[in-house]
C-alpha cells in the first residue's frame, strides 16, 4: 500500500477559504473588543460623568415639561376556559388564537397566538398584537378564540374548537372567553 502525499495547503481551496474566514472573524472580534475598551461604560446620570450645570438644569426642565405618557389605547385581557358542555376534547399541543375585531365584518384588528396551551389560559392583547400597527383603534371590539391543532390560522380541521364572539367591549377590558363548540370548517385561504 502506497501512502498518498498530502496536498499543500495553498492548493486546497476549502482550507484557504476557512483560514480567510477565521482571519476576518478574528479581526471583527478584536475590533469590537478594542471599541468596547475605548468608550466608557458609564450610564447617563452616573456621578463620574461630568455634565455642566446649565446643561443638567436644561435636562431637568425638559423632563418636567414633558407630558405624561398616555395609557396604551388597547389593553385587553382575560381567561380562556373550556365549556363543561363541550363533548370534543381539547387537542394535545394546541395553539390558541385570541382574536379582536371591530364591530363590523372585516379582518382582525389584533391577534395573539399561544403555543402548546391548555385551559384555563390567561391571555392578553395589546398594541404589540395589532395586525396593522398604528391603525385607528375601534371604539368597540368583539373577541373570539380558536383552538387550532396545526398552528396555521388559515386552515381548520376536524378537532379544532372555537368560542365567541363576545359582546362588544371597549379596547381596555377584561373578558373571559369560553370555548364552546367545534370550529367551522372552511376552505384554506379564508379569513380566520
Provide the CATH number for the domain around residue 112: 2.60.40
* Domain-embedded: residue 82: yes
* Domain-embedded: residue 87: yes
Mean pLDDT, residues 170-181 taken together: 92
Provide the domain count of the chain.
Answer: 1
Q: Write down the mean pLDDT value for the chain.
A: 81
pLDDT of residue 189: 54
Is residue 142 classed as helix, strand or coil in its secondary structure?
strand
pLDDT by residue (tens digit) across 113-138? 999 989 999 999 998 999 988 888 89
Residue of 46, 37, 142 whose CA lies nearest to 98: 142
* Domain-embedded: residue 124: yes
How far apart, in whole angstroms, are the C-alpha atoms of residue 162 and residue 160?
7
How far apart, in whole angstroms, are the C-alpha atoms of residue 182 and residue 148?
10
Confidence band for 40, pLDDT divided at 50, 70 and 90: low
Pairing of strands 177-179, 75-82: parallel
Confidence band for 87, pLDDT divided at 50, 70 and 90: confident
How far apart, in whole angstroms, are the C-alpha atoms of residue 96 and residue 112?
8
How far apart, in whole angstroms, are the C-alpha atoms of residue 182 and residue 145?
11
* Domain-embedded: residue 55: no
For residue 170, what are the domain limits? 75-182
pLDDT by residue (tens digit) across 4-31? 766 655 567 777 778 888 888 888 877 7
* Domain-embedded: residue 79: yes
Phi and psi, residue 134, nearest 5°:
85, 0
C-beta separation of 86 from 63 below 8 A: no
* Domain-embedded: residue 31: no
* Domain-embedded: residue 26: no
C-beta separation of 76 from 100 below 8 A: yes
* Domain-embedded: residue 10: no
C-beta separation of 127 from 74 below 8 A: yes
Amino acid at each position: 500500500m502506497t501512502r498518498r502525499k498530502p496536498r499543500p495547503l495553498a492548493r486546497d481551496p476549502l482550507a484557504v477559504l476557512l483560514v480567510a474566514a477565521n482571519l476576518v472573524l478574528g479581526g471583527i472580534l478584536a475590533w469590537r473588543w478594542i471599541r468596547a475598551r475605548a468608550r466608557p461604560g458609564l450610564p447617563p446620570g452616573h456621578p463620574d460623568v461630568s455634565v455642566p450645570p446649565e446643561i443638567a438644569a436644561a435636562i431637568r426642565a425638559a423632563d418636567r415639561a414633558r407630558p405624561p405618557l398616555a395609557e396604551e389605547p388597547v389593553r385587553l385581557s382575560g381567561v380562556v376556559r373550556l365549556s363543561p358542555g363541550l363533548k370534543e376534547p381539547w387537542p394535545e399541543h394546541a395553539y390558541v388564537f385570541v382574536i379582536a375585531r371591530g364591530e363590523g365584518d372585516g379582518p382582525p384588528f389584533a391577534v395573539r397566538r399561544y403555543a402548546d396551551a391548555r385551559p384555563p389560559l390567561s391571555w392578553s392583547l395589546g398594541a404589540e398584537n395589532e395586525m396593522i400597527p398604528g391603525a385607528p383603534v375601534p371604539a368597540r371590539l368583539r373577541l373570539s378564540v380558536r383552538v387550532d391543532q396545526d398552528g396555521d390560522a388559515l386552515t381548520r380541521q376536524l378537532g379544532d374548537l372555537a368560542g365567541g364572539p363576545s359582546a362588544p367591549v371597549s379596547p381596555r377590558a377584561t373578558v373571559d372567553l369560553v370555548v364552546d363548540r367545534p370550529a367551522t370548517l372552511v376552505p384554506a385561504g379564508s379569513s380566520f
